[in-house]
Amino acid sequence: MMAKIVRIGGAGGFLGDSSVAAPQLLAGGGLDYMILDYLAEATMAPLGQLKRARPDQGYARDFTEWVWKDNLREFKAQGVRVVTNAGGVNPAACRARMEEIAAEAGVSFRIAIVTGDDLLDRVPAFAAEGTPEMFAGTRFPDPSKVWTANAYLGGGPIAAALAAGADVVITGRVVDSALTLGPLIHEFGWSADDHDRLSAGSLAGHVIECGAQATGGLFTDWEKVPDWAHIGYPVIECHADGDFVVTKPAGTGGLVSVAAVSEQILYEVGDPQGYALPDVVCDFTQLRVTQDGEHRVRVSNAKGYPPSGNLKTCVTYENGFRFIGIMPVVGRDAARKAAAQAQAVITRVNEMLRDRNLPPLRDTRVELLGTEASYGAQANPALAATREVIARIGAEHDDEAALGIMMREFDSPTTSMSVGSTGWFGARPTISPVSQVFSFLVDGGSVDASVAIGGETIAVINPAPATPFADAMVERPSVGEAPVGDGDDDLVEVALIDVAWARSGDKGDAFNVGVIARRPDLLPWIRAALTEEAVKAFFAHEFEGAAHPEVRRYELPGMNAINLHCIQSLGGGQFASLRLDPLAKGKGQQLLDMKLKVPRRLAA
């Protein structure tokens, strides 16, 4: 008898992902499950604001009005079970809308919702206790400014919903990988102490939670990825021992290769031996990633430790207001003119605020698009002479009315300052609240998760490990030997991209860059060049304003890789940052331009 294989398709990586994914995966056939991930940390803030204004909202309408409405008959016909966090901050309303759509189509589903993650009613207590932010140590925000407060649940409630017969499971805030781990716990009967399998299942979820990023999206060698317009979305074939194969529907574009999958494995990972989740602490340092046929990559040998017993909780809150506007300038000395003009506007606005007895702008940022502004000292100096730039000007203030002055004055330079100011005939700049994320840990035993299905409510207790995770459990891999060349005369300078692949991503006010050697014999030379000090110097501009900037380097010998974790490096991160790249999508690309020396025989 053939061993059981569970096939799961990843049809969405964020709120706004393509609507072609679900029908493509259904057309490919053979799925047991489809997962859709909609909830970045910062996404919770607008959903929370929406629910305040409209109590029947606060969920991902992209799912209900596109994926669900357009594909529910095919879900029914094929028996594909759907697991998604599209419930946002209002899973019950999401289910109600789904049931309404299904009734109009004349079909029915058993839809379960997972709740218990919403801790908004505990915010006053968290504030009174002086709960600090887990990364920066800052004080808890004013409870009156808080929009959402949600604990990250694990795969257990999802598995319980499926065991109760759910065709569809709608969750609120869960860890992204739980959307996959829950079905695997249910299908294979993994227990709470099957740490290696739980780690592997979580890794499978991590690989497909961002949709086509696992199948060639955002790949370093982008020109090797065919047919972006029809890129295939990922399918994983999961085995009871935790091994899984990444593939995609036949006839689709994209690329499933060891390098592309390896990049996604390291995406948004800090410590690869301390990837803490509600069900397990994952260890990815000894992974084996191997080609298993055309567009098939096998991932094996994930290791796991018991969970900590705590749940990460994220609060989103209003932290003042923001203005961002763009001002094109063309002609000779465009960059210098744009910079001077932008600073003149900021000076004028601050003087007007002073005259009204208002504080100055609390933060400003001017970035000249077209001059590699986000590269800091690594920018190409020749671009300073460009004859066309866009000045991107950001400003923040505690008072929304103060930024009204900024909006009023922003267009005035088009007739009074720099020659070549073209004006902008798109949408006018807007003022919006600054959405800040505040993260901390809560005791998992204090969070009561539950599943509601068919009029029944099932309590799901967060597993309390007999021996919680401790750093002492981790045995760090040894750092490899120093590189050995054939003499200094044999060394040649190359760009990092010539010898490595890289992928970067954000986690709050930090980013990581996973760097994978193109061949194992190149790794010692990469490691020698990418020291913590060298990387910190390369990205010095990213640590601007940081109280405790730091780069941590981790070894992943199983993948011939290292992971670089840059702490306090994004100016607050996500919606709280004025920077052009607050999600760190381009940091890996920038690092790949770094120069290093390798033996000539390896550079060929």
Give me the DSSP letters along 25-81: HHHH---SEEEE----GGGHHHHHHHHHH-TT--S-HHIIIIIIHHHHHHHHHHT-E
- Whole-structure pTM over 0.95, yes or no? yes
User: Does residue 400 sit within a domain?
Assistant: yes
User: Does residue 474 sit within a domain?
Assistant: no
* Residue 480 pLDDT > 90: no
User: Does residue 439 sit within a domain?
Assistant: no
Q: How far apart are CA 20 and CA 32, in angstroms?
A: 19
User: Does residue 447 sit within a domain?
Assistant: no
Q: How far apart are CA 224 and CA 212, in angstroms?
A: 15
The pLDDT value recorded for residue 190 is: 98
Task: Please report which residue ranges of 310-437 form alpha helices under DSSP H.
Answer: 334-355, 400-410
Q: Are 567 and 550 in contact (CB under 8 A)?
A: yes
The pLDDT value recorded for residue 489 is: 63
For residues 403, 407, 410 and 412, what is the CA-based torsion angle, rounded to 10 degrees?
Answer: -130
The pLDDT value recorded for residue 492 is: 95
| One domain for residues 224 and 259 | yes
Residue 519 DSSP one-character state: S
| One domain for residues 266 and 364 | no
| One domain for residues 185 and 258 | yes
| One domain for residues 21 and 160 | yes
User: Does residue 35 sit within a domain?
Assistant: yes
Q: What confidence tens digit (pLDDT) does each residue in 197-222 have?
A: 999 999 999 999 999 999 999 999 99
* Residue 124 pLDDT > 70: yes
Handedness of CA 66, 70, 71, 76 (dihedral sign): positive
Residue 470 DSSP one-character state: -
Q: How confident is the model at residue 487 (pLDDT cuts 50, 70, 90)?
A: low
User: Does residue 108 sit within a domain?
Assistant: yes
Which range (79-83, 95-99, 424-428) has the least confidence? 424-428
Which of 400, 424, 448 finishes a domain? 424
Secondary structure tally for the chain: helices H, strands E: 16, 25
Share of the chain above pLDDT 70, in %: 99
Q: What confidence tens digit (pLDDT) does each residue in 390-445 have?
A: 999 999 999 999 999 999 999 999 999 999 999 877 778 889 999 999 999 999 99
Closest Cα to residue 439, out of 303, 355, 535, 313?
313
Q: How confident is the model at residue 74 (pLDDT cuts 50, 70, 90)?
A: very high
Average pLDDT over residues 60-78: 98
The pLDDT value recorded for residue 267 is: 98
| One domain for residues 106 and 53 | yes
| One domain for residues 173 and 63 | yes
Q: Are 310 and 444 in contact (CB under 8 A)?
A: yes
Q: How far apart are CA 599 and CA 338, in angstroms?
A: 44
What's the Rg (C-alpha) of the chain? 25
Q: How confident is the model at residue 573 (pLDDT cuts 50, 70, 90)?
A: confident
The bridge status of strand 235-239 relative to strand 244-247 is: antiparallel
The pLDDT value recorded for residue 374 is: 96
Average pLDDT over residues 55-59: 98
443 burial via Cβ count (<10 Å: 0-12, 13-18, 19+): exposed
| One domain for residues 171 and 22 | yes
Tokens coding 495? 């760009």
User: Does residue 479 sit within a domain?
Assistant: no
| CA distances in angstroms from 19 to 16, 86, 144, 169, listed in the order given | 8, 14, 37, 19
Q: How far apart are CA 444 and CA 438, in angstroms?
A: 18
E-strand spans in 221-287?
235-239, 244-247, 275-276, 281-283
Angle between helix axes 195-208 and 258-266 (nearest 10 degrees) is 110
| One domain for residues 331 and 297 | no
The pLDDT value recorded for residue 481 is: 76
Average pLDDT over residues 566-576: 92
* Residue 297 pLDDT > 80: yes
Overall domain count for the chain: 3
* Residue 184 pLDDT > 70: yes
Q: How far apart are CA 170 and CA 117, in angstroms?
A: 13
Q: How far apart are CA 420 and CA 256, in angstroms?
A: 47
The phi and psi torsions of 62 (rounded to 5 degrees) equal: -55, -35
| CA distances in angstroms from 343 to 115, 347, 355, 358, 574, listed in the order given | 49, 6, 18, 19, 25
pLDDT, mean over the chain: 96
Q: How confident is the model at residue 484 (pLDDT cuts 50, 70, 90)?
A: confident
Residue 47 identity (one-letter amino acid): L
| One domain for residues 15 and 67 | yes
Residues with Cβ < 8 Å from 287, sequence gap 6 or more? 203, 265, 299, 300, 301, 302, 556, 558, 559
| 3-state SS track over 590-603 | HHCCCEEEEEHHHH
Q: How far apart are CA 118 and CA 44, in angstroms?
A: 11
Q: What confidence tens digit (pLDDT) does each residue in 525-547 have?
A: 999 999 999 999 999 999 999 99
Closest Cα to residue 347, out of 335, 357, 361?
361
Closest Cα to residue 513, out of 428, 574, 603, 591?
591
Which of 424, 449, 475 finishes a domain? 424
Give the count of alpha carbons within 13 A of 492, CB side only: 10
Which of 276, 305, 334 finishes a domain? 305
| 3-state SS track over 542-600 | HHCCCCCCEEEEEEEHHHCEEEEEEECCCCCCHHHCCCCCCCCCCHHHHHCCCEEEEEH
Q: Which domain holds residue 339?
A: 323-424
Q: How far apart are CA 190 and CA 182, in angstroms?
A: 10
* Residue 488 pLDDT > 80: no
DSSP 439-454: EEEEEGGG-EEEEEET
The phi and psi torsions of 100 (rounded to 5 degrees) equal: -65, -45
| One domain for residues 103 and 207 | yes
* Residue 142 pLDDT > 90: yes
- CATH assignment at residue 348: 3.30.70
